[in-house]
Amino acid sequence: MIKSKDWIKDLVVYQIYPRSFKDSNNDGIGDIKGIIEKLDYLEYLGINAIWLSPIYKSPMIDNGYDIEDYYAINEEFGTMEDFDNLLSEAKKRNIIIIMDLVLNHTSNKHQWFIEASKSKNNKYSNYYIFKDGKNNKEPNNWGSTFGGSARTYVKERDQYYLHLFAKEQPDLNWSNVEVREEIYKMINFWIDKGVKGFRVDAISYLDKTKEMLDAPYPLNNEGYSPCKAFIAGNETTHNYIKELGNIFNSRNIFSVGECFIQSDEDFKKYVLTESNEFDMAIPFIPPVVEIKNISPNYLKNTFKHRYEILKNGGWRANFLSNHDKPRQISLYGNDSIESGKMLATLLHTLPGTPFVYQGEEIGMTNVYYDSIDEYNDLDTKNYYSYLLKSNKSKEEALKEIHLTSRDNARSPMQWDNSEFSGFSKVKPWLNVNPNYLKINVKSELNNPNSIFNYYKKLISLRKNNDILKYGDLEFIDSSDGTIVYLRKYKEIKWLVVLSFLDKEIDFKIDYKIKKVILENYPLKENKLGSYQALILEIE
């Protein structure tokens, strides 16, 4: 089956992290009714797709990426009726709902796992990956992505199960056709309800045929990842994804995979039209790696490279933020309004589909909590303990956490300047960033020069100008700290100029400017200002 889903090229996706978006019943946790309350806001912003991070029943060890029941809504988020209302209310506003599909693992509270753990010979025994130990220890030395061993012992079976993430997230056995059939049935259930797309979590890791090979380093030290060495992108995984692709494509469903990309060839397999896998891929880059590499050049080369690879078919997902990364304005900018707008310009003028993460449209920044106790994320807490064990002081460790923690993106949405930022009337599950008094939706809506209103302009610009969707991309050599590129479509040429520098520099534009399409502040002759962004029509 060949994909022909041109409609996906018109999407501007807004990612909602439900726990942190809007609390309607004042229990301190965001919920589905809260999302419905804010649909008018999202429609006004101009987006036409919402990706919901998981809302399924879950013990919330990894905030929903540990699913206990694929057919139920987590109580703290509401009911199935609320979800159906969300679907229909979103539809009225021409917004589609994209669900998160977590298929590599379930929660250890999932009924399948509870049954599988009981014995070696029941219906579910082969739903997960259990192995005998060696000399009373784990069968090999793999470390999990979140630290510690990737195996946990179960007494009833006298065996160890594999978990590439937390021990509460046992990996499913995709080589068992019954597992795959259960999963496909479940996907069809949500499509029948009216869900129009899926973001598919940690999808590169499905095939575990090499799980018994020993890793060269014990555990996950020194940045070593057994997932990368033995698992990501195996041929069999691609075959499983093609089975998923058959469902998505035959039912005209949008799909984006979170992919650990091993090579250019691997990337192509995930998204080239003829490979019948996903429509787009979100390349997985852990925050720590990203922060170490961070520079405009790194960004430029990454976008350039991805563009070249997919030039002959295949579509791109563009994003600067999500729930696993620090805030873009703090990571690539300097928390200023101008840097927020500059980054927005990059996101919306690259070829592909923009993914906006909640709060970036008002310039929400990293949080700098005073103590590790204020953090919630299990990965953050594990990393903090690892830093202390590596002889960092508490202060040094906290400093690194400020930069890298996933909770930077998870602090509650800042709706107004009332207590708890209008997110809730009670103390939320994660503290509000104290800068909500200044940075909040209410004040941005009223200010024509706000980041919000700039996002609104960019989204409408993309909607009304095919050059941004279909135009070619050509990067132009430019001075360090700047990114410059041309978009070309039919006779039209737009030049995009972006500065990642906190100072004004001499800068000459070697083209005849016909018109300023958008700028975050006025262009000065032969100068480029701090974090300046320009979209210029040229001759």
Residues labelled catalytic: 201, 258
Which residues, 6+ apart, have CB-to-CB distance to 482 below 8 Å? Answer: 296, 497, 498, 499, 500, 501, 505, 507, 528
Determine the Cα–Cα distance for residues 69 and 51; give it in Å rounded to an integer. Answer: 19
Angstrom CA distances, 358 to 96, 182, 380, stand at 16, 32, 20
CB of 534 to ligand NOJ, least distance (A): 33
Determine the Cα–Cα distance for residues 323 and 345; give it in Å rounded to an integer. Answer: 21
CB of 323 to ligand NOJ, least distance (A): 6
Closer Cβ to ligand NOJ, 284 or 307, answer by number: 284
Alpha helices in 412-506 (DSSP H): 441-445, 451-464, 466-470
Neighbouring-strand partners of residue 499: 482
CB of 259 to ligand NOJ, least distance (A): 11
Closer Cβ to ligand NOJ, 403 or 509, answer by number: 403
Closer Cβ to ligand NOJ, 19 or 323, answer by number: 323
Residues of the shown chain interacting with ligand NOJ in the complex, contacts defined by CB under 6 A: 62, 65, 102, 165, 201-202, 258, 323-324
Closer Cβ to ligand NOJ, 151 or 323, answer by number: 323
Closer Cβ to ligand NOJ, 260 or 307, answer by number: 260
Closer Cβ to ligand NOJ, 151 or 341, answer by number: 151
Instruction: Label the pairing between strands 49-52 and 96-102.
Output: parallel
H or E segment and range at residue 304: helix 296-309
Evaluate whether 261 touches 283 at the Cβ level (below 8 Å).
yes
Closer Cβ to ligand NOJ, 201 or 338, answer by number: 201
Which residues, 6+ apart, have CB-to-CB distance to 454 below 8 Å? Answer: 340, 341, 344, 520
Determine the Cα–Cα distance for residues 439 and 496; give it in Å rounded to an integer. Answer: 27
CB of 260 to ligand NOJ, least distance (A): 10
Closer Cβ to ligand NOJ, 356 or 459, answer by number: 356
CB of 146 to ligand NOJ, least distance (A): 8
CB of 379 to ligand NOJ, least distance (A): 7
CB of 201 to ligand NOJ, least distance (A): 5
Torsion region of 105: left, alpha or beta (phi above 0 gives left; psi -120 to 50 gives alpha): beta
CB of 37 to ligand NOJ, least distance (A): 25
CB of 100 to ligand NOJ, least distance (A): 8
Task: Please give the structure tokens belonging to residue 403.
Answer: 């930069």
The residue of the chain with the least Cβ separation from ligand NOJ equals 65
Closer Cβ to ligand NOJ, 109 or 392, answer by number: 109
Q: What is the CA radius of gyration of the chain?
A: 23
Position 306, amino acid: R
Q: What single string gives the DSSP state of each residue in 198-243?
A: EEEETGGG---TTTTSPPSSSTTGGG--HIIIIITT-HHHHHHHHH
Determine the Cα–Cα distance for residues 61 and 74; give it in Å rounded to an integer. Answer: 13
Determine the Cα–Cα distance for residues 345 and 173; give it in Å rounded to an integer. Answer: 43
Closer Cβ to ligand NOJ, 58 or 117, answer by number: 58
Determine the Cα–Cα distance for residues 493 and 536; give it in Å rounded to an integer. Answer: 8
Task: Give, rounded to a whole angstrom, the gap between the first and last alpha carbons of the chain.
Answer: 42
Task: Please give the structure tokens belonging to residue 294.
Answer: 């961070």
Alpha helices in 332-445 (DSSP H): 337-349, 378-389, 394-404, 441-445
CB of 425 to ligand NOJ, least distance (A): 28
- Angle between the N-to-C axes of helices 296-309 and 264-271, in degrees from 0 to 180, rounded to the nearest 10: 60
Angstrom CA distances, 79 to 74, 257, 274, 329, stand at 7, 27, 39, 35
Give the 3-state secondary structure of residue 392.
coil
Q: What single string gives the DSSP state of each residue in 308-321?
A: HHTTTS---EEES-
Residue 504: how many CB atoms within 10 A of its CB? 13
